[in-house]
Chains A and B, each alone.
Chain A
Amino acid sequence: MNNPTDLKYSKTHEWVRVEADGTATIGITDHAQSELGDVIYLELPAIGASLTLDEPFGTVESVKAVSDLVAPLSGRVVRVNSDLVDAPEAINPDPYGCWLLVIEASALSEAADLLSAEDYALFTEEG
């Protein structure tokens, strides 16, 4: 798996791009899409909804299973990728090109606990 080094990763397999202005873009990792198989359904919160660190904020469903999406950071939703909700199968070939949400992070210090690409690669190999 090739995980971009400019992203941070959660142990629940979300990727996060933290911007200097306090916003963060969230998606699911290559490992996650590979484990899920064909993604067919996405359920995401509305703009304005609040995310709480480590709490489920939506679901991703594949032919095989339904999985929770878990918040890698706390914050308020400012953008939702509605194109992806309409065509969630786009995640499988391009998990790092398909973002789910942009949030205004309420505590960027939480990002310190996220994994680097290298640590995430080790984590998924062990897991």
Chain B
Amino acid sequence: MRRTPLFNAHVTDGARMVDFAGWQMPVQYGSILDEVRAVRSGVGVFDVSHMGQVRVSGAGALGAIQRLLTNDASKLAPGRAQYSLMCDDGGGILDDLIVYRRDGGAGAPDFLIVVNASNRETDFDWMSARGSGPDAVFDDVSDDYALIAVQGPMAEATLAPSLTGCDLAKLPAFSHAAAVFGSAPVHVARTGYTGEDGFEIFSAPTAAETIWRTLRDSGVVPCGLGARDVLRIEASYSLYGHEINRETNPYEAGLGWVVKPSKGDFIGREPIVAAKAAGLTRRLTGILPDDVRAIPRQGTVVTTAAGAGIVTSGTMSTTLDRAIGIAYLPKDAEGDVTLAMRGRELPARIVDLPFYKRCR
């Protein structure tokens, strides 16, 4: 079982540690619901050091990324980041990820791709087997970085006193820059997966605990995987193994906006385009049970007038103060549905996603 550089800090902070994707990670420090509230109304901090990082460099780096991923990385200016998908030959989703373009734009292309912890090895093997060439070099640099996410409306105000060399107010969403936290050189990106404004700080593993402590001392609430899951379900962000996997097509997952067939060929392009042309049979929708405490868990069968569907994620939404779920349902399903929950049939209704969108 792997430990992040922040393992000792989590234990000191009283975290309940669980095994997750081969890592010992904090699931919660106190109450998951309180942690969610902190991120929605103040600021929370997450250890996401378990996520994988793949560096792609060399003159052919952009070409390799264009072939491997669905989004159009040629639109990615230096200092910007882009959400994308990696698909297999059949168009099934291998992972969702964020590509950061780090070079200055004057030759020597240099990209960092952040992937899910659970897919770190398989993603790297796939990328290096399918993408590498004489002028495209893939390195698994996951162990070079600790990654700390600072998320919530107070994120900028909280980071500003300790972070120098980068004006956070001028850093737009999905951009990143070099900075210094205390005395540690870091890379800070305005990205995250909570539905709030926030930043992700890439640092050397040895600098992580000091950064974590500094943030904790400034009143930031430490948040675990439990809160992270509630937040991303409220914001209706897909999670690998729930909404997306090798059996799902990007369009039915509501991720057609990161598929750019016009950019040219990429792995999975033909079957993805063909599936869309043939007409999708299902789509991701929101589910609200009439009983606000009845959480539709993953795997719950949903009966609709247009056929059966299945829940991919469900939780208690702190922000909405009720149970919510995400489900794949037949494309034409609408209105009232029935959930089969532990031997009982519970009424629910279909709603549009996302459940939560922050005011900007």
The chain A residue sitting closest to B32, CB to CB, is A63
**Which of A37, A59, A61, A66 makes the CB contact (< 8 A) with B32?**
A37
Instruction: Report the Cα distance A88→B33, complex, angstroms.
Output: 14
| B295-A40 in contact (CB<8A) | yes
| B295-A37 in contact (CB<8A) | no
Instruction: Report the Cα distance A61→B33, complex, angstroms.
Output: 14
Q: Which residues of A contact B27 (CB under 8 A)?
A: 37, 64
Tell me if B42 counts as interface (CB < 8 A to partner A): no
Q: Which residues of B contact A92 (CB under 8 A)?
A: 31
A64-B31 contact given A40-B293, A41-B295, CB 8 Å threshold: no
**Which of B28, B316, B342 makes the CB contact (< 8 A) with A40?**
B316
Smallest distance from the beta carbon of B211 to chain A beta carbons, Å?
27
| A59-B294 in contact (CB<8A) | no
> Which of A38, A40, A88 is most buried by chain B, counting CB atoms within 10 A of its CB?
A38
Q: B295-326 vs A: 1/0 string, CB under 8 Å?
A: 10100000000000000000110000000000
Tell me which residues from 21 to 45 in chain A have a Cβ below 8 Å from any Cβ of chain B: 37-38, 40-41
Tell me which residues from 319 to 347 in chain B have a Cβ below 8 Å from any Cβ of chain A: 342
Smallest distance from the beta carbon of B47 to chain A beta carbons, Å?
18
Tell me which residues from 5 to 57 in chain B have a Cβ below 8 Å from any Cβ of chain A: 16, 27-28, 31-33
Q: Which residues of B contact A64 (CB under 8 A)?
A: 27, 32, 226
Tell me if B155 counts as interface (CB < 8 A to partner A): no
Smallest distance from the beta carbon of B239 to chain A beta carbons, Å?
15
| A38-B32 in contact (CB<8A) | yes
The chain A residue sitting closest to B342, CB to CB, is A59
| B315-A63 in contact (CB<8A) | yes
Q: Which residues of B contact A59 (CB under 8 A)?
A: 342
Instruction: Report the Cα distance A88→B315, complex, angstroms.
Output: 16
A63-B342 contact given A37-B32, A38-B32, CB 8 Å threshold: no
The chain B residue sitting closest to A41, CB to CB, is B293
| B226-A37 in contact (CB<8A) | yes
| B230-A63 in contact (CB<8A) | yes
Q: Which residues of B contact A41 (CB under 8 A)?
A: 293-295
| A63-B297 in contact (CB<8A) | no
Smallest distance from the beta carbon of A12 to chain B beta carbons, Å?
18
The chain A residue sitting closest to B294, CB to CB, is A41
| B342-A66 in contact (CB<8A) | yes
Tell me which residues from 65 to 98 in chain A have a Cβ below 8 Å from any Cβ of chain B: 66, 88, 92
Instruction: Report the Cα distance A75→B342, complex, angstroms.
Output: 24
| A63-B293 in contact (CB<8A) | no
Smallest distance from the beta carbon of B242 to chain A beta carbons, Å?
15
Q: B279-299 vs A: 1/0 string, CB under 8 Å?
A: 000000000000001110100
Q: Which residues of A contact B32 (CB under 8 A)?
A: 37-38, 63-64
The chain B residue sitting closest to A85, CB to CB, is B293
The chain B residue sitting closest to A86, CB to CB, is B293
Smallest distance from the beta carbon of B234 to chain A beta carbons, Å?
12
| B31-A61 in contact (CB<8A) | no
Instruction: Report the Cα distance A44→B20, complex, angstroms.
Output: 32
Smallest distance from the beta carbon of A68 to chain B beta carbons, Å?
10
Q: Which residues of A contact B295 (CB under 8 A)?
A: 40-41, 61, 66
Smallest distance from the beta carbon of A54 to chain B beta carbons, Å?
19
Smallest distance from the beta carbon of A61 to chain B beta carbons, Å?
6
Q: Which residues of A contact B226 (CB under 8 A)?
A: 37, 63-64
| A38-B342 in contact (CB<8A) | no
Smallest distance from the beta carbon of A93 to chain B beta carbons, Å?
10
Where the two chains meet, the residues of B that have a C-beta atom closer than 8 Å to any C-beta of A are 16, 27-28, 31-33, 226, 230, 293-295, 297, 315-316, 342
Where the two chains meet, the residues of A that have a C-beta atom closer than 8 Å to any C-beta of B are 37-38, 40-41, 59, 61, 63-64, 66, 88, 92
A38-B31, A38-B316, A63-B32 given. 5 additional CB < 8 A pairs?
A37-B31, A38-B33, A63-B226, A63-B315, A92-B31
24 pairs from A and B in contact (CB 8 Å cutoff): A37-B16, A37-B27, A37-B28, A37-B32, A37-B226, A38-B31, A38-B32, A38-B316, A40-B293, A40-B295, A40-B316, A41-B294, A41-B295, A59-B342, A61-B293, A63-B33, A63-B230, A63-B315, A63-B316, A64-B32, A64-B226, A66-B295, A66-B342, A88-B293
